[in-house]
Each structure stands twice: as C-alpha cells, then as structure tokens.
Structure 1
C-alpha cells in the first residue's frame, strides 16, 4: 500500500512528439526536444502517493496545467522528498540554473506564485544524486510502473 506522506516532487516527462500543445487558457507550449521536469507539492490529503498517481495517468477532465500536457508525454516516474516545507518555488528557480535549462511556457504551474514557471525543459535529466545536491535534500526516485503502487521509501 502506498504511503500518504506529504512533500515536494519532480515529475519527469518525455515528450512523445514535437509541435504545439494547448495548455488550457494559459497558451501554447511547443514540444521540441529534450526532457521536461515539473515541480509540485503534495501537502494535502493523499500526499505524494496520490499526486504522483494522478500525474502518472491522463486526466479525464484536465484541471492543472500538467493535465493538459500529460497526453503528449510519457512519465517514467517522479522524484520525491518528504516533508512539510513548501519547496517547489525554490526548486523551480534552482533547476533553472542547470546548464541548458529553460522555461518553455511562462507561468506553467505557477499562476499562483511569482516563479517564472514550474515546468522546465532540460537537454538531459541529471542523475538523482546531482538533483539531490542541487536541491539540498535527499530525493527518492519512484518509477511509474504499476501506477506508483510501490511507493514506499
């Protein structure tokens, strides 16, 4: 059974095609090479397990910006860090300092804060140890197999 621990997470997304994707009323995101990382928090009911499960599948009725992107990307898994600290804003900015990092659509996932975006495009996704060092917290990788059913850490 999955844990309902709360924390912050990174969803790794691999675009399955190139081209424009409409992200609700936010605008058009152009998929063009590289990989994408989405930063989020799961501090409410269900915690990390529920949020990673949600992002691991396509939403019947899109609600979040990521729900509009999901049908166009494969999700191999998520990195998670447990804790009640609200880290996603700091993480988004730190990830933006990686070589070759960019924010492919302004305000994606960040319409309620002053971050440039919570979605980043990277030429290459760093290893878990490098991400942990950059973000200053131990990260645990959770594969999407079985819809994150083996989430224990």
Structure 2
C-alpha cells in the first residue's frame, strides 16, 4: 500500500501505566492503563506517511490532542485505508461499538466534528479482522483496509 496517498487511519496503542496530562484546550485528562485507539484522517500534504510519522515520534510543539500523551503510549498497530472518502467519523463509531470499548475522554481529537471522541479505550487488544469485517458490513463501498504491526521496529522510513 502507498502510504504517500491520502486516507484514514487508526493507531492502536498500549498504555502501560495511567497518564495524566493537559491536552491543550481540552484541558486535564487521564488515560488509564490498557489499550487505546486513536482515529484520524490524513488528507493534507504528505498523506498517511506524513501524519503517521508525526504521531509515531515525539512532538516538540504539540498540535493535536494525541501529541500531549503519545510519549507515554506504546504503538502496537496501525490500520489504514486509502479510500478517497474520509472515514474517520465512521471508524470512530465502529471502534466505539466494539466489545469492551468506551470513550472516557469526550472531545479528544473530535473538536471539529460531532463524534463523542476519536480516542477509544479498549479493555483488551482489539482484533483487526473483526473491525475490517464490521467496516465492510456497515459501509459496503469501503475501500481496502490494511494492518501494520508497529511492535517490530521502524514502520515509516
């Protein structure tokens, strides 16, 4: 898959210990230990490669809510699509509906939309195949979906 293209992504993180932070204008937040999925879209310059690269390295100047907490998170997986339609809102709803999902931080990554949150907490590591099956069932015109293992070293050069 060409990561230079535009698309939608979900980053799956593990959070080994609780994290307290001030997430910009969102204010104080707390991420408890467990798994978290951050959903977004990359339709600007550089496409998916640029956005994922930003989210997977430290930020000197935080811009997105995730920038304020990613230092305490361990990347596990990236799920992507180069579907030309922005799917971040659909994906947020789909991930939120997975068994064991909750959205304890309202507005995270979702200040410009009506979604409850683009950061979803999971009680256990979510399965990509179940998400993929659900996405195709709910959105029949959905483009191909891809999964990347982020635990095996550098993902983006």
Give TM-score, length-normalised by structure 1.
0.88
Residue matched to 1:112: 112
- What is the root-mean-square deviation in Å for CA atoms of aligned residues? 1.6
Aligned match of 2:145 in 133, 139, 144?
A: 139
Residue matched to 2:52: 52
Matched, 1:148 2:156: yes
Q: Report how far residue 126 of structure 1 moved.
A: 2.2
Aligned residue for 1:29, secondary structure, equals strand
Query: Which whole-Å CA distance do the structure 1 matches of 2:77 and 2:156 have between them?
Result: 8
Q: Report how far residue 105 of structure 1 moved.
A: 0.7
Task: Decide which moves more: 83-92 or 111-120.
Answer: 83-92
Residue matched to 1:72: 72
Q: Report how far residue 26 of structure 1 moved.
A: 0.3
Gaps of 5+ in 2: 137-141
Query: Which whole-Å CA distance do the structure 1 matches of 2:24 and 2:105 have between them?
Result: 12
Contact 2:19–2:72 (CA under 8 A) maintained in structure 1: no
Matched, 1:129 2:135: no
Aligned residue for 1:134, secondary structure, equals helix
Contact 1:33–1:123 (CA under 8 A) maintained in structure 2: no
Aligned residue for 2:134, secondary structure, equals helix
Q: Report how far residue 24 of structure 1 moved.
A: 1.5
Contact 1:29–1:104 (CA under 8 A) maintained in structure 2: no
Query: Which whole-Å CA distance do the structure 1 matches of 2:54 and 2:19 have between them?
Result: 24
Q: 1:4 to 1:35 in 2, by over 3 A?
A: same
Q: Report how far residue 34 of structure 1 moved.
A: 2.0
Query: Which whole-Å CA distance do the structure 2 matches of 1:20 and 1:3 have between them?
Result: 32
Contact 1:128–1:139 (CA under 8 A) maintained in structure 2: no
Give TM-score, length-normalised by structure 2.
0.86
Gaps of 5+ in 1: none
Q: Report how far residue 19 of structure 1 moved.
A: 4.1
Residue matched to 2:22: 22
Residue matched to 2:63: 63
